[in-house]
């Protein structure tokens, strides 16, 4: 990132940009991303054992097409902080993976991107999440509008107890999408490469499908509303290796059209599918309960796995813990 | 040693002999359970057989299609059956919307940390255990007389019975809603559905079998209620079918109660026959409830 982008002038421009875009209804898909609208994270965050590298090396997010920008994003449940001070930029039309041990807050962060944390009583979000420059936690933002643009696939396949057809049609119906519903359903199933498997039994109950098919149905369901971003919260953790492989292939096809953020336990999966990887860690506080998640390192997946700059990332990706 | 040789050895040699004390304890426990179960079953069987011996000879088409009479040979239960059907229609019409709405509010919208919502919850649990005669007093004071002043009519009786079973409908309705996993709601909301769309189009349809089961079981409880109907002043000798909500009425349990209290043995036989009719209606309703539950129950 060049020096002139860090001047106060560019900061002012960024504020006015986001104000104007958040005050109007966002009906245009894909608002133009303003390159470099937020300065890089200042160095010197209190990450416990500070590595001997410059901060920009550890949080390498100098990208010019961000879809999400988080700044000092912290989430707490009740009074206990769950994850602290996450600042990163998620690129458009790429796959970004969040990895790290259990309890490191990677799922919590991904749930800020479509405001699913709103559903958890006591969850409190600080800092900002910008989606194409719009503060998702701004006072004038309707969480339902956010979720129309940003789809999500969950850890356990959660088809509705209805027919395959009705599962796909639900989203377009509640959003009042125009056009032939049959066409919308076929298109969504094709994009999730499920059409050939199910075209003869669209009226069958979705619970009769295998786990892998159910998860692809959930992906198709999310795609049916033409989202701009697809959030995937450990989408393969309940699936066998063959189904997992099919979903990974699918992700590669999908990134032509949508930005994908995936949370995964599986490091090999992150290495296989993602363009960029963020590594989170659990900071054991003074007591066992005070487990706080933090972002340790973020950058191109190749570099995170072959040349990690932080010793903790290196230990994790080489399998020494986690 | 090869595996073939191993399998040839007797099991007691491989695994040892079970201690005699443990075997004895297991067997005596099973025996105790068997005895206790049969006590309950024997009491029930004696009741049923006794009723059947008295009642079955009285059962006939003319018994079902005659009105009460001072002469046992001419007496029947047509007005009691139609009265009961009218009452149940009123009960169902009242408890379904009220019960489902209350259950939805408490389960999906009420903030359980607020004191008034907790108060409502505790009170509904308590109301389910209040003796039905208390509801009868309430019905007499507020529905038959008092503010509503409906008189001794089908509507007053139905509303009173609806009050008796409403807490149970709300409790079973909440359980049915809670049985729908949160992932269904999350899935709907993540697609951009509003909270109301998620509830109305996904959670409520998925819980309908459970809600329907609760409603049917509540109705079958209401059918057998006698005390509140006595208090709200249902007549016991009604020689005509109810003509509308504002009509006087009788009901099966009331007819039974009235015949049982007659000194004449022949009327007690008629009561036994009416009990059989009531039991048959109850068994049919419960069978429908069980069938609904098994047929549509969702395994998550």
Interval B200-220 mean pLDDT: 91
For residue A45, give how far its alpha carbon lies from the nearest alpha carbon of chain B (Å): 33
pTM given for the model: 0.78
Q: How confident is the model at residue A25 (pLDDT cuts 50, 70, 90)?
A: very low
Mutate to test the interface with B, among A148, A159, A166, A170 (most CBs of B within 10 A): A170
B164-196 per-position pLDDT tens digit: 999 999 999 999 999 999 999 999 999 999 999
Q: How confident is the model at residue A288 (pLDDT cuts 50, 70, 90)?
A: low
Q: Does A218 touch chain B (CB under 8 A)?
A: yes
- pLDDT for the residue numbered B247: 84
Chain B (70-129) residues lying within 8 Å, Cβ to Cβ, of chain A:
113
CB-CB under 8 Å, A171 with B192: yes
The residue of chain A nearest to residue B297, with distances taken between CA atoms, is: A161
CB-CB under 8 Å, A151 with B191: yes
Best-predicted range by mean pLDDT among A38-52, A179-193, B56-70? A179-193
Q: Does A226 touch chain B (CB under 8 A)?
A: no
- pLDDT for the residue numbered A289: 64
pLDDT at B229 over 60: yes
Residue whose C-alpha is closest to residue A115's, from A80, A158, A68, A78: A68
CB-CB under 8 Å, A152 with B192: no
CB-CB under 8 Å, A116 with B189: yes
> Which domains, ranges and CATH numbers included, belong to chain A?
61-317 (3.40.50.300)
The interface pTM score, or ipTM, of the predicted complex is 0.78
> Which domains, ranges and CATH numbers included, belong to chain B?
78-241+282-296 (1.10.3720.10)
- pLDDT for the residue numbered A53: 52
Residue whose C-alpha is closest to residue B230's, from B244, B251, B246, B247: B251
- pLDDT for the residue numbered B167: 94
Q: Does B194 touch chain A (CB under 8 A)?
A: yes
For residue A112, give how far its alpha carbon lies from the nearest alpha carbon of chain B (Å): 12
Element (H, E) at B108: none
Q: How far apart are CA A211 and CA A307, in angstroms?
A: 36
**Do you know the residue count of chain B?**
300
A289-307 per-position pLDDT tens digit: 678 888 999 999 999 999 8
- pLDDT for the residue numbered B2: 52
- pLDDT for the residue numbered A31: 39
The residue of chain A nearest to residue B296, with distances taken between CA atoms, is: A161
Chain A residues near residue B299 by CB distance under 8 angstroms: 207
Q: How far apart are CA B274 and CA B46, in angstroms?
A: 18
CB-CB under 8 Å, B181 with A119: no
Q: Does A158 touch chain B (CB under 8 A)?
A: yes
Rounded (5°) CA angle A68-A74-A78: 135
pLDDT at B290 over 60: yes
B67-117 per-position pLDDT tens digit: 887 777 778 888 888 889 999 999 999 999 999 999 999 998 888 788 888
- pLDDT for the residue numbered A286: 61
B18-51 per-position pLDDT tens digit: 888 888 899 999 999 999 999 999 999 999 999 9
Q: Does B297 touch chain A (CB under 8 A)?
A: no
Note whether A241 and A268 are within 8 A (CB): no
- Contacts of residue A9, defined as CB under 8 A and 6 or more positions apart, other chains included, come to none
Instruction: Count the helix, strand and coil residues of chain B and give each as a percent rounded to the nearest 5.
Output: 75, 0, 25
Chain B residues near residue A145 by CB distance under 8 angstroms: 192
CB-CB under 8 Å, B188 with A160: yes
Q: Does B53 touch chain A (CB under 8 A)?
A: no
Chain A residues near residue B187 by CB distance under 8 angstroms: 154, 158-160, 218, 221
Residue B59 tokens read as: 């059962």
CB-CB under 8 Å, A152 with B206: no
Q: Does B184 touch chain A (CB under 8 A)?
A: yes
CB-CB under 8 Å, B192 with A225: yes
Mean pLDDT, chain B, integer: 88
């Amino acid at each position: 990132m060049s020096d002139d982008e860090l001047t106060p002038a560019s900061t002012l421009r960024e504020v006015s940009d986001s104000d104007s875009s958040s005050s109007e209804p966002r009906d245009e898909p894909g608002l133009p991303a303003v390159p470099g609208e937020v300065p890089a994270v200042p160095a010197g965050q209190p990450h416990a054992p500070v590595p001997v590298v410059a901060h920009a090396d550890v949080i390498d997010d100098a990208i010019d097409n961000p879809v999400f920008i988080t700044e000092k994003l912290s989430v707490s449940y009740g009074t206990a902080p769950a994850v602290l001070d996450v600042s990163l930029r998620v690129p458009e039309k790429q796959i970004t993976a969040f990895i790290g041990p259990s309890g490191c807050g990677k799922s919590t962060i991904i749930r800020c991107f479509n405001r699913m944390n709103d559903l958890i009583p006591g969850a409190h979000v600080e800092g900002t999440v910008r989606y194409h420059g719009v503060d998702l936690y701004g006072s004038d933002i309707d969480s339902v509008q956010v979720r129309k643009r940003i789809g999500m696939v969950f850890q356990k396949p959660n088809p509705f107890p209805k027919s395959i057809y009705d599962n796909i049609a639900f989203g377009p119906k509640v959003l009042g999408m125009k056009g032939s519903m049959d066409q919308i359903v076929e298109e969504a199933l094709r994009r999730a490469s499920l059409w050939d498997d199910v075209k003869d039994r669209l009226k069958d109950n979705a619970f009769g499908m295998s786990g892998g098919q159910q998860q692809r149905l959930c992906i198709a369901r999310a795609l049916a509303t033409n989202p701009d971003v697809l959030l995937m919260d450990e989408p393969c953790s309940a699936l066998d290796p063959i189904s997992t492989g099919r979903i990974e292939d699918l992700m590669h096809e999908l990134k032509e059209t949508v930005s994908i953020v995936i949370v995964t336990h599986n490091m090999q999966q992150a290495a296989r599918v993602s363009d960029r990887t963020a590594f989170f860690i659990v900071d054991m506080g003074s007591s066992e309960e005070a487990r706080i998640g933090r972002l340790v390192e973020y950058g191109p997946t190749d570099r995170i796995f072959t040349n990690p700059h932080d010793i903790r990332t290196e230990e994790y990706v080489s399998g020494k813990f986690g | 040693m090869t595996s073939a040789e191993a399998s040839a050895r007797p099991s007691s040699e491989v695994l040892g002999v079970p201690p005699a004390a443990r075997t004895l304890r297991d067997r005596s426990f099973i025996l105790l359970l068997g005895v206790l179960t049969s006590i309950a079953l024997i009491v029930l069987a004696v009741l049923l057989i006794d009723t059947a011996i008295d009642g079955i000879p009285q059962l006939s088409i003319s018994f079902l299609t005659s009105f009460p009479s001072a002469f046992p040979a001419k007496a029947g239960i047509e007005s009691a059956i139609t009265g009961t059907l009218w009452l149940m229609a009123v009960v169902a019409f009242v408890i379904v919307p009220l019960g489902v709405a209350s259950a939805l509010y408490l389960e999906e919208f009420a903030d359980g940390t607020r004191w008034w919502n907790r108060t409502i919850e505790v009170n509904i649990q308590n109301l389910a255990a209040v003796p039905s005669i208390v509801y009868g007093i309430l019905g007499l004071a507020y529905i038959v007389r008092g503010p509503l002043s409906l008189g001794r009519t089908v509507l007053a009786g139905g509303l009173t019975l609806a009050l008796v079973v409403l807490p149970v409908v709300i409790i079973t309705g909440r359980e049915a809603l809670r049985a729908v996993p949160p992932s269904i709601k999350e899935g709907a909301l993540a697609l951009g559905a509003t909270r109301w769309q998620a509830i109305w189009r996904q959670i409520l349809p998925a819980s309908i079998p459970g809600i329907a089961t609760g409603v049917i079981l509540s109705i079958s409880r209401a059918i057998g209620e006698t005390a509140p109907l006595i208090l709200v002043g249902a007549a016991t000798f009604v020689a005509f079918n109810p003509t509308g909500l504002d009509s006087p009425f009788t009901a099966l349990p009331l007819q039974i109660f009235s015949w049982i209290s007659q000194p004449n043995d022949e009327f007690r036989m008629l009561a036994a026959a009416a009990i059989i009719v009531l039991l048959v209606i109850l068994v049919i309703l419960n069978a429908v409830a069980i069938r609904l539950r098994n047929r549509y129950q969702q395994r998550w």
